[in-house]
Amino acid sequence: MFSVFPQNDVTKITDALLAWFALHKRPLPWRVHYTPYEVWISEVMLQQTQMERGVAYFQRWMGRFPDVRSVAEAPEEEILRYWEGLGYYRRARFLHQAAKIMLERHGGAVPDSQEELSSLPGLGDYTVAAILGIAYEQDMVSIDANVERVFSRLMNIDSPVKKNPAAALIRQEAQRLLPHGQARAYNQALMELGALVCGKSPQCLQCPLVSWCSAHKLGVEKERPVVEAKARTIPVTSAHGILIVEGKVLLLRRSPEGLWGNMWEFPGTEVSSGSPQEAVIRTLAEMGVPVEIIAPLGQVQHGYTNHRLTAHFFRIAADPPLTMNEISARLDDVPHRFVPWNKTEDLAMPAHHRKMAERYFLRKTRAKAEQLSL
């Protein structure tokens, strides 16, 4: 059952919403100037990131990439390094590609038309609408999970919000409520309301729209929105070795295609049979570098899409001992490099490898500092 808004309530609802937003909006960095570039970057970053982390990443990003040109002219490896920790690295690559096109076709400006924005890599309907509505103040609505949650309760939508007819109805009503010329405030107000008040545990007594909320009147606000059942989580096990030779650690570069493309990691593999130790030894041997396990370094768990990864790490050594040059010669066809063990932070790494690098090499740094103090 869906309840649309009577026409004589539309202005009352939007007035109440905008008045609430004027008093309660958070002082976020991309709300200072509302430049199209800043709106674009913030929206891409926040799609799968909590606000607090998103602000920190945004400020760090802007310190290095203040405009489209700086993104377009940067090497992909640096883009990935600054994106590291946000996940969904395909978005960072699309962002990089889109910036290059903006520089080439638009002189470094973010386009202000739906057609031009939609033609760029990685800019889907939501991001396009956010840029046009929030940055350029065109009469466009942007529907994210916060907005879906607000409307699912206001209209008491009892079917999954990401599928029609619910999705179409939410877009229709969100657009109908949009006051002409106020897309910037309206879109942000809806998102802010969903984030601060109409969250997973709704704070109905604080809501400026509670008088019009059908779900609240029926006492079913905690049952909205209706979501589809989550996909089953798939367990994955991997094993990796940390090989340090002459004070430098061996890192391999992943192929450009697939998950974590072009990022650097400790050599290893997914474990499909046998033990993690055997998998590490077998993988390095197949590359021409026989190794032995020196010590286990523990596990790192990491979730991505619908997978749950358990990565095992080991300290390894070449057996028999080999120099860096000898190992590099054997890895001639494998993209690799030896990096000073305390400089791994300069390269983009998948999250589970970054966690182990910080855990292991910070420990080495502390041990070295203690030796020097003796």
The residues near 161 (Cβ < 8 Å, ≥ 6 apart) are 148, 149, 151, 152, 167, 170, 225, 226, 227
Query: How far is residue 104's CA from residue 305's CA, in Å, rounded to a whole number?
Result: 34
Which of 38, 43, 173, 192 does the annotation list as catalytic?
Answer: 43
CB atoms within 10 A of CB 68: 23
Q: To the nearest 10°, report the CA torsion of 157, 148, 53, 58.
A: 180
Query: How far is residue 37's CA from residue 366's CA, in Å, rounded to a whole number?
Result: 41
Phi, psi dihedral angles at 317 (to 5 degrees): -140, 145
Q: What DSSP line would sit under 230-284, residue for residue?
A: PPPPEEEEEEEEEEEETTEEEEEEPPSSSTTTT-EE-SEEE--SS-HHHHHHHHH
Q: Are 68 and 74 in contact (CB under 8 A)?
A: no
Phi, psi dihedral angles at 236 (to 5 degrees): -130, 140
C-alpha torsion sign, points 208, 213, 215, 216: positive
* Residue 43 falls in the annotated catalytic set: yes
Catalytic positions are 43
